[in-house]
């Protein structure tokens, strides 16, 4: 498990009040009972954690923890080196 993946899993677990061992890369938001408000709050926390900006239109496509991980990886790869912090 890489650093981005583990940090996001920890964040999701903390947000939902469940052990990190109950959250996996393939866990769906439906399984974790993450609703639209949770998804928005989670996106703000991810943006702050990784110093990135998640486009609002991308939120609808996020269905799993893995979607968030891949999105963060893409945004970090596209960011200028001096602004990306992982």
Q: Where are the domains of the chain?
A: 3-78
pLDDT at 86 over 70: no
Specify whether the CB–CB gap between 44 and 64 falls below 8 A: no
Cα-flanking dihedrals φ and ψ of residue 83, to 5°? -105, -15
Model confidence band, residue 38 (pLDDT cutoffs 50, 70, 90): very high
CATH topology of domain 3-78: 1.10.1200
Q: What is the pTM of this model?
A: 0.87
In percent, the amount of the chain with pLDDT more than 90 equals 80
Token pair 């009972």: residue = 33
Using only C-alpha atoms, what is the Rg of the chain? 12
């Amino acid at each position: 498990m890489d650093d981005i993946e583990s940090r996001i899993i920890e964040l999701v677990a903390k947000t939902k009040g469940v052990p990190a061992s109950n959250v996996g890369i393939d866990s769906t938001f439906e399984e974790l009972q993450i609703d639209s408000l949770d998804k928005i709050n989670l996106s703000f926390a991810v943006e702050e954690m990784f110093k990135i900006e998640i486009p609002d239109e991308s939120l609808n496509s996020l269905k799993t923890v893995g979607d968030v991980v891949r999105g963060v990886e893409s945004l970090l790869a596209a960011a200028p080196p001096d602004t990306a912090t992982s």
